[in-house]
């Protein structure tokens, strides 16, 4: 019998994964930190994204922290989708 991935499942697994990634980055776990750093570096190669980051920072927003959270959320969703797509043991 195969399990079907529903939106609530995806939302729950994504939230749990994001929390785990945030904790791992906050505690300096090297593998997770390297993954998130690589994603942030990709963003920093986009001149428009950097300009937006600078603008938002100058307006008083903690734009870098928001970028980190957005990257973690995107990675968490990808991990959750992959996790839920795998066949589950009966």
Give me the pLDDT at residue 90, please.
56
Torsion of CA 19, 22, 26, 30, to 10 degrees: 120
> Would the pLDDT of 8 be above 80?
no
pTM of the model: 0.82
Q: Count of CB atoms within 10 A of residue 72's CB? A: 23
Gyration radius from the chain CA atoms: 16
More confident residue, 7 or 48: 48
Instruction: Specify the 3-state DSSP secondary structure of 29.
Output: coil
DSSP 86: S
Distance of CA 37 to the CA centre of its chain: 11
Give the pLDDT confidence of 10-62 residue by residue, as tens digits.
999 999 999 999 999 999 999 999 999 999 999 999 999 999 999 999 999 99
């Amino acid at each position: 019998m195969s399990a079907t991935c529903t939106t609530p499942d995806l939302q729950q697994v994504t939230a749990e994964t994001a929390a785990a990634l945030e904790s791992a980055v906050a505690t300096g776990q090297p593998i997770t930190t390297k993954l998130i750093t690589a994603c942030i570096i990709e963003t920093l190669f986009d001149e428009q994204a950097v300009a937006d980051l600078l603008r938002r920072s100058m307006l008083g927003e903690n734009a870098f922290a928001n970028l980190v959270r957005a990257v973690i959320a995107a990675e968490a969703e990808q991990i959750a989708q992959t996790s839920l797509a795998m066949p589950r043991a009966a």
